[in-house]
């Protein structure tokens, strides 16, 4: 420190600075500021999302990859291809009545007839006592003049994401394969993939595609692929579950959310949208907002749905499994009643594949992080990230304030002094000698408080490690016990804070300072994780930030009827305080992870068991880490919040 | 011989225009596309279109330097493999120049025999095929500058050099992606207008051109010729500063834009106005043809470096740059008499050289005859080196000994050779 300087002048300046800083450090405004700054961060962070749909904060989408040239080619899918398609659709309809073995043989037969190499891939997952098995069929169309280093995937899952049989989708994929086979312009190979199931079929296939050897475990048995091609550049899935009589659709819903909120490059989406709407005249929707009037409300609705889907992190279609492997993928889902038929969908697909075919390198030009407000309007990461960062910052500020507080000697009077004079009297001043100057500073400012870190660090660590228990239970128990275990976890979560605070305060006699440090550490960890997570999955970080907001403001409860309060407060005042504290406690309990889960299942009208089972499957099979964030990040922070809340109640009376 | 029998005025009439126009004796063209990749198809089409035009107007392949960084014809994405078109009508395959009237098959892009069949019925038959002088990764700024300034290693093939002289007119056409005072070469590097200006200056100093027409079709093209400072250079660009140059149209079957606007209209002009190798079309007409309505950007010219300024440039024939002259350069000075005197002087000089050589040969014979004289001269030379090489006394001793015992050494050498021969004979006998 430059306090010991030989020059008189500079030492004076230093002393003045130090004195001023010491005064500021003790200024009552600064000490009371953090909760308000914290609250401001919270409010601004949430408000931030609401301004994003405005024109000033979002942008029209544009294709930034030069090579992709969307919609610059004539599409020739039509004419007699329509007859071929209808024939295939009838065959697919027939197949749906057959056994799985016959069906697979029939699909492979068609692929072979077209002149493609075909292969099967059986897979089996066992999660929570449930068997998920199926067999993927796929074929490889080798580009006649291609160098076999790159490939693109055309997919139609046998069953779509809603479990319907994808009659027209599969038939269209087969027709496209037959049609593509006749072109000589492919610079990449084309893989025609018919996964048995939208989520796990494509997952099994894409994971086997990217591994050299697949290990068989008790819960995972995925066969290797006998045919492989080059690096996958993009994948397009068709979801068109219409039977042999056909159905004209109104719009294409473009699904793009990947596992853990990863998104495909915006250029792929833009290409699909510009081809469908610009070249073919098919309207596009995002997140099922079909009647989008481009108003603020509709944009906000699309944004909200996008944030919800992304924060859940689960698969939304056969394309989702491709994202963790950095293969950009989308699903084209037909929605509504309109006048577009299978041929326009086919032509759209053809044009999209011609565009992907034009690529010279992996899609990289456009955004990977974006929030869509409309099929052709988006918010880029620079505009939306501050929202999540403010949420994380709110916890950081609270944590730092607590840390500072824990390092200060407690100000003696809790009651307000009657006037300024007595306030000054209460302030004990001390002489500090700096060189040849003397400064008067309050005694609290100079007295160092030793922080007893061992217990809080241990407690914080233990609580966070403890989070593994509910996670482990919910992802590995048999499905029949899932609901029960969540109930147990909910109950335990309500009791645990009190029990822990008894343990800490009574048994281990933790001081107020140590409780403050515990909370500070927990909040610091929460904010660091949320800030990091925000760059990976913005929505998840934001949603957890919103749900965990009270944790930044939790302070120990106190008894308004205690002896120290009776002197200054009226009865009414005390009653109000009590009511306020009860309200805080109720809010705290309502925002527990388990309660929120219950509320969400009620809101989305799904069963708790189904939700938990899906979460378990997503965690086990696809590595969706939402459960981890909930149980190992949010839940421990929530528990620590409860410990703080109840800590004063168990304080031994002095 | 027959000319001699013609009346003198007629003879004068024939020779006069050739005398007044014959400011140059050869025509060269440097045609450069600077971008690769499928979506830059049009740049290759631009360049090949110009290539076709200059070839049509008589510049032989040996005097065209063609630089193409990519091969669109063989790109797997090309629906019409082996062909490059500059119009969506696809009437003209630039890549393999077939007869002007294409067959129905070639228009449809089906399987066409790539060897051009020379049919007698069509009026203009182009020599088949294209000669690419620099292709792929060879198309770099360095290559281009070396080409212009002719700085090559001795091994560089003549066919890939710009063998121009001070009587050559050069057409330089460049197309690609550019910006303010630069043109990108293959996504990796760029050439700046200053580089170009300096290269032209060097060319001028070396007498590598008579007049030079620089054409460039790229965004902000006009900025490329702003820094030129060498006399005799005329610049033409497709767009002003901060302006984009646009493509003309896309072929929906090829799936990419096939030609740029400026080049498209330049070609339209050249195709419609220059129907023969004697068309008297002036450069000014070409300048005026590139209107904003056509090009959608402000096409520019720069002619102040030419003697006579823009007026002179406008009066230049288009064929002065796009066509070919077949003049013979006879350096005649003021008149025949003087040149005869020159020849006499040359002969006299040759005679003197011959005499000198004869004299020297005679002298040499004399010195060879007197060996001791040579050794004495050598010793003298060595002595003169002595002060500088004082340290190496041993070497000097050996040199001194060589002087005295020359014959002895020869005798020893001969004897040892004889001994070796004897040993060899003995060895072969013993086996």
pLDDT the model gives residue B377 = 47
Lowest-confidence pick of A90-99, A175-184, A325-334, B11-20? B11-20
The verdict on a CB contact (< 8 Å) between B256 and A72 is yes
Please check whether residues A540 and A462 belong to one and the same domain.
Answer: yes
* CA–CA gap between residue B130 and residue B94 (Å, rounded): 9
Higher pLDDT residue, A394 or B20? A394
Q: How far is A145 from chain B (nearest CA, A)?
A: 5
pTM for the whole structure? 0.80
Candidates B38, B40, B77, B88: best to mutate against A (most CBs of A within 10 A) is B77
Number of separate domains in chain A: 2
Partners of A357 on chain B (C-beta within 8 Å) are 77
Partners of A67 on chain B (C-beta within 8 Å) are 37-39
Per the annotation, the verdict on B219 as an active-site residue is: yes
Structural domain includes residue A561? yes
pLDDT the model gives residue A348 = 95
Identify which of B39, B79, B253 has the shortest CB distance to residue A358: B39
Please check whether residues A604 and A468 belong to one and the same domain.
Answer: yes
What would the two tokens of residue A412 be?
Answer: 């003696």
Instruction: Give yes or no for residue A138 having a pLDDT over 90.
Output: yes
The verdict on a CB contact (< 8 Å) between A358 and B38 is yes
Structural domain includes residue A530? yes
DSSP H helices, B22-139, are 41-56, 104-108
Most distant CA pair in chain A: distance in Å?
101
Q: How far is A69 from chain B (nearest CA, A)?
A: 7
pLDDT the model gives residue B10 = 44
Q: Which residues of chain B are under the pLDDT cut of 50?
A: 1-21, 100-123, 371-401
Partners of A185 on chain B (C-beta within 8 Å) are 76-79
pLDDT digits over A423-451, tens only? 555 556 666 666 666 766 666 555 667 88
Structural domain includes residue A4? no
Contact pairs from chain A to chain B, CB under 8 Å:
41
Average of per-residue pLDDT values in chain A:
87
Q: Are A182 and A80 in contact (CB under 8 A)?
A: no
Identify which of B38, B76, B253 has the shortest CB distance to residue A186: B76
Please check whether residues A292 and A435 belong to one and the same domain.
Answer: no
* CA–CA gap between residue A134 and residue A195 (Å, rounded): 8
Average confidence (pLDDT) over A536-558: 90
Structural domain includes residue B5? no
The verdict on a CB contact (< 8 Å) between A354 and B255 is yes
Structural domain includes residue B391? no
What would the two tokens of residue B116 be?
Answer: 């051009």
Partners of B39 on chain A (C-beta within 8 Å) are 66-67, 69, 358
Please check whether residues A213 and A168 belong to one and the same domain.
Answer: yes
H or E element in which residue B97 lies = none
- Name the percent of chain B in helix, strand, coil, to the closest 5: 45, 15, 40
pLDDT digits over A286-329, tens only? 998 888 888 999 999 999 999 999 999 999 999 999 999 999 99
DSSP secondary structure of A247-299:
--EEEEEEE---GGG----HHHHHHHHIIIIIIS--EEEETT--S----HHHH
The verdict on a CB contact (< 8 Å) between A357 and B256 is no
Of A331, A351, A375, the residue at which a domain comes to its end is A375
Range of the domain at A255: 66-375
Of A375, A398, A422, the residue at which a domain comes to its end is A375
Structural domain includes residue A424? no
Q: What CATH number corresponds to the domain at position A73?
A: 3.40.630.10
Please check whether residues A362 and A451 belong to one and the same domain.
Answer: no
Structural domain includes residue A26? no
**Strand duo A370-374 + A283-286: pairing:** unpaired
Q: How far is B250 from chain A (nearest CA, A)?
A: 7
Residues of A with CB under 8 A from a CB of B: 66-67, 69, 72-74, 143-147, 184-187, 354, 357-358, 360
**Given phi > 0 = left and psi -120 to 50 = alpha, else beta, which region is B200?**
alpha
pLDDT the model gives residue A25 = 66
Structural domain includes residue A59? no
Nearest residue of chain A to residue B258 (CA atoms): A72
Q: Active-site residue among B177, B204, B248, B296?
A: B177
Q: Which residues of B201-217 are buried (b: 16+ CB within 10 A; e: fewer)?
A: bbbbeeebbbbbbbbbb
The verdict on a CB contact (< 8 Å) between B255 and A358 is yes
Nearest residue of chain B to residue A353 (CA atoms): B77
pLDDT the model gives residue A440 = 67
Identify which of A69, A145, A360 has the shortest CB distance to residue B255: A69
Please check whether residues A584 and A489 belong to one and the same domain.
Answer: yes
Structural domain includes residue B294? yes
Structural domain includes residue B100? yes
pLDDT digits over A188-222, tens only? 999 999 999 999 999 999 999 998 877 888 888 89
Q: How far is A187 from chain B (nearest CA, A)?
A: 5
What would the two tokens of residue A227 be?
Answer: 């045919």
Per the annotation, the verdict on B74 as an active-site residue is: no
Q: Active-site residue among B43, B204, B219, B248?
A: B219
The verdict on a CB contact (< 8 Å) between B81 and A67 is no
SS3 per residue for A311-349: HHCCCCCCCHHHHHHCCEEEEEEEEEEEEECHHHHHHHH
Q: What's the pLDDT band for A646 if we cut at 50, 70, 90?
A: confident
Instruction: Give yes or no for residue A275 having a pLDDT over 90.
Output: yes
Partners of B37 on chain A (C-beta within 8 Å) are 67, 360
Among candidates A461, A478, A486, A487, which has minimal Cα distance to A632?
A461
Identify which of A72, A144, A360 has the shortest CB distance to residue B255: A72
Residues ≥6 apart with Cβ < 8 Å to B305: B228, B229, B230, B231, B232, B233, B234
Q: Are A64 and A365 in contact (CB under 8 A)?
A: yes
Please check whether residues A91 and A174 belong to one and the same domain.
Answer: yes
Please check whether residues A499 and A453 belong to one and the same domain.
Answer: yes
pLDDT the model gives residue A197 = 92
pLDDT the model gives residue A501 = 87
Lowest-confidence pick of A31-35, A241-245, B192-196? A31-35
Percent of chain A past pLDDT 90, that is, above it, reads 58
Structural domain includes residue B359? no
The verdict on a CB contact (< 8 Å) between A185 and B37 is no
Among candidates B26, B18, B30, which has minimal Cα distance to B173?
B30
Nearest residue of chain A to residue B252 (CA atoms): A73
H or E element in which residue A60 lies = strand A59-60
Please check whether residues A576 and A455 belong to one and the same domain.
Answer: yes
Q: What CATH number corresponds to the domain at position B173?
A: 3.40.50.1460
The verdict on a CB contact (< 8 Å) between B253 and A74 is yes
Cα angle vertex A619, ends A615, A625, to 5°? 100
* CA–CA gap between residue A201 and residue B194 (Å, rounded): 60
Structural domain includes residue A22? no
Q: Are A279 and A351 in contact (CB under 8 A)?
A: yes
Structural domain includes residue B174? yes
The verdict on a CB contact (< 8 Å) between A187 and B256 is no
pLDDT digits over A332-382, tens only? 999 999 999 999 999 999 999 999 999 998 999 899 999 999 998 999 999
Structural domain includes residue A467? yes
Among candidates A210, A300, A315, A198, which has minimal Cα distance to A256?
A315
Q: How far is B108 from chain A (nearest CA, A)?
A: 14
- Using the 8-state DSSP alphabet, how is residue B93 labeled? B
Candidates B38, B80, B186: best to mutate against A (most CBs of A within 10 A) is B38
Nearest residue of chain A to residue B111 (CA atoms): A184
Higher pLDDT residue, A503 or B95? A503
Q: 3-class SS at A574?
A: helix
pLDDT the model gives residue A447 = 63
Range of the domain at B29: 24-322
Structural domain includes residue B291? yes
Please check whether residues A371 and A285 belong to one and the same domain.
Answer: yes
Please check whether residues A401 and A349 belong to one and the same domain.
Answer: no
Structural domain includes residue B256? yes
Identify which of B37, B78, B252 has the shortest CB distance to residue A185: B78
Please check whether residues A556 and A459 belong to one and the same domain.
Answer: yes
pLDDT the model gives residue A5 = 42
Number of separate domains in chain B: 1
């Amino acid at each position: 420190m430059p306090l010991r300087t030989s020059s008189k002048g500079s030492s004076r300046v230093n002393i003045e600075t130090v004195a001023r800083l010491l005064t500021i450090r003790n200024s009552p405004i600064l000490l009371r500021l953090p909760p308000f700054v914290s609250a401001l961060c919270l409010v601004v962070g949430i408000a931030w999302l609401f301004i994003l749909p405005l024109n000033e904060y979002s942008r029209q989408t544009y294709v930034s990859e030069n090579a992709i040239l969307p919609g610059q080619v004539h599409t020739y899918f039509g004419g007699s291809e329509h007859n071929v398609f209808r024939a295939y659709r009838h065959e697919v309809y027939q197949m749906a009545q057959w056994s799985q073995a016959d069906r697979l043989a029939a699909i492979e037969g068609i692929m072979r007839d077209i002149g493609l190499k075909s292969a099967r891939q059986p897979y089996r997952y066992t999660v929570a006592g449930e068997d998920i098995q199926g067999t993927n069929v796929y074929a490889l169309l080798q580009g006649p003049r291609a160098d076999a280093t790159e490939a693109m995937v055309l997919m139609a899952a046998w069953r779509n994401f809603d479990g319907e049989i994808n009659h027209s989708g599969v038939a269209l994929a087969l027709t496209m394969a037959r049609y593509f086979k006749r072109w000589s312009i492919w610079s990449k190979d084309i893989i025609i993939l018919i996964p048995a199931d939208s989520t796990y079929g494509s997952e099994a296939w894409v994971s086997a595609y990217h591994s050299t050897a697949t290990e068989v475990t008790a819960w995972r048995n995925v066969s290797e692929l006998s045919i492989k091609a080059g690096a996958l550049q993009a994948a397009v899935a068709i979801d068109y579950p219409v039977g042999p009589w056909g159905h004209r659709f109104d719009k294409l819903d473009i699904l793009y959310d990947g596992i853990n909120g990863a998104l495909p490059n915006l250029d792929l989406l833009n290409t699909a949208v510009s081809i469908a709407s610009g070249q073919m005249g098919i309207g596009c929707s995002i997140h099922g907002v079909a009647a989008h009037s481009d108003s603020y409300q509709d944009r906000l609705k699309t944004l909200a749905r996008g944030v919800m889907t992304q924060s859940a992190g689960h698969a939304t279609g056969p394309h989702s499994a491709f994202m963790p492997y950095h293969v950009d993928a989308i699903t084209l889902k037909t929605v509504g009643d309109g006048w577009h038929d299978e041929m326009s969908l086919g032509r759209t697909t053809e044009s999209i594949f011609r565009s992907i075919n034009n690529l010279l390198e992996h899609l990289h030009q456009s955004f990977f992080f974006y929030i869509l407000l409309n099929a052709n309007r988006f918010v880029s990461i620079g505009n939306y990230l501050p929202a999540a960062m403010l949420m994380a910052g709110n916890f950081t500020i609270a944590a730092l304030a607590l840390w500072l507080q824990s390092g200060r000697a407690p100000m003696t009077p809790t009651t307000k002094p009657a006037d300024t004079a007595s306030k000054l009297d209460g302030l004990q001043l001390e002489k500090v000698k700096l060189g040849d100057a003397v400064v008067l500073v309050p005694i609290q400012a100079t007295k160092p408080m030793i922080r007893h870190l061992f217990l809080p660090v241990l407690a914080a660590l233990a609580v966070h490690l403890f989070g593994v228990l509910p996670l482990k239970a919910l992802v590995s128990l048999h499905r029949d016990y899932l609901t029960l275990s969540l109930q147990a976890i909910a109950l335990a979560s309500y009791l645990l804070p009190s029990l822990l605070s008894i343990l800490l305060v009574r048994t281990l006699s933790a001081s107020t300072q140590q409780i403050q440090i515990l909370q500070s550490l927990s909040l610091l960890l929460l904010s660091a994780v949320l800030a990091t997570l925000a760059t990976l999955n913005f929505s998840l970080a934001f949603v957890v930030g919103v749900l965990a907001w009270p944790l930044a403001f939790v302070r120990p409860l106190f008894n308004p009827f205690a002896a120290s309060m009776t002197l200054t407060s009226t009865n009414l005042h005390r009653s109000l305080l009590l009511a306020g504290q009860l309200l805080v406690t109720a809010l705290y309990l309502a925002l527990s992870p388990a309660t929120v889960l219950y509320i969400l299942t009620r809101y989305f009208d799904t069963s708790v068991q189904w939700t938990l089972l899906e979460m378990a499957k997503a965690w086990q099979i696809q590595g969706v880490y939402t459960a981890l964030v909930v149980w190992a990040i949010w839940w421990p922070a929530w528990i620590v919040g409860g410990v703080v809340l109840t800590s004063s109640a168990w304080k031994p009376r002095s | 011989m027959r000319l001699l029998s013609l009346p003198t005025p007629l003879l004068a009439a024939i020779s006069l225009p050739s005398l007044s126009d014959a400011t140059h004796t050869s025509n060269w063209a440097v045609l450069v596309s600077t971008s690769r990749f499928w979506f830059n198809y049009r740049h290759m089409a631009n360049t090949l279109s110009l290539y076709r035009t200059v070839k049509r107007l008589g510049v032989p392949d040996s005097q065209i330097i063609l630089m193409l960084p990519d091969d669109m014809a063989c790109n797997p994405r090309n629906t019409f493999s082996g062909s490059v078109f500059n119009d969506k009508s696809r009437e003209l395959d630039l890549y393999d120049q077939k007869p002007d009237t294409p067959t129905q098959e070639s228009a449809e892009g089906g399987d066409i025999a790539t060897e051009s069949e020379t049919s007698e019925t069509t009026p203009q038959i182009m020599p088949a095929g294209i000669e690419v002088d620099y292709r792929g990764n060879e198309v770099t700024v360095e290559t281009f500058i070396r080409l212009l300034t002719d700085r090559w290693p001795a091994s560089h093939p003549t066919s890939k050099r710009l063998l121009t002289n001070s009587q050559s007119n050069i057409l330089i056409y460049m197309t690609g992606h550019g910006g303010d005072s630069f043109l990108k070469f293959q996504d990796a590097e760029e050439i700046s207008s200053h580089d170009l200006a300096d290269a032209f200056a060097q060319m001028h100093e070396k007498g590598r051109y008579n007049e030079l027409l620089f054409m460039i079709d790229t965004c902000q093209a006009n900025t490329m010729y702003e820094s030129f400072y060498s006399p005799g250079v005329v610049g033409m660009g497709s767009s002003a500063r901060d302006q984009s140059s646009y493509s003309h149209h896309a072929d929906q079957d090829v799936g990419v834009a096939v030609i740029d606007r400026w080049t498209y209209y330049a070609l339209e002009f050249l195709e419609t106005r220059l129907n023969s190798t004697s068309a008297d079309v002036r450069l000014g007409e070409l300048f005026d043809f590139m209107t904003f309505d056509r090009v959608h950007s402000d096409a520019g010219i720069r002619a102040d470096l030419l003697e006579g300024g823009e007026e002179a440039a406008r009066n230049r024939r288009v064929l002065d740059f796009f066509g070919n002259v077949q003049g013979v350069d006879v350096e005649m000075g003021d008149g025949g008499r003087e040149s005869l005197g020159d020849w006499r002087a040359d002969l006299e000089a040759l005679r003197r050289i011959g005499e000198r050589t004869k004299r020297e040969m005679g002298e040499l014979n004399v010195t060879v005859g007197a060996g001791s004289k040579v050794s004495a001269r050598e010793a003298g030379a060595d002595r003169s080196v002595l002060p500088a090489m004082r340290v190496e006394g041993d070497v000097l001793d050996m040199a001194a000994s060589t002087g005295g015992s020359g014959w002895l050494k020869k005798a020893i050498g001969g004897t040892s050779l004889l001994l070796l021969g004897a040993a060899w004979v003995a060895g072969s006998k013993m086996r």
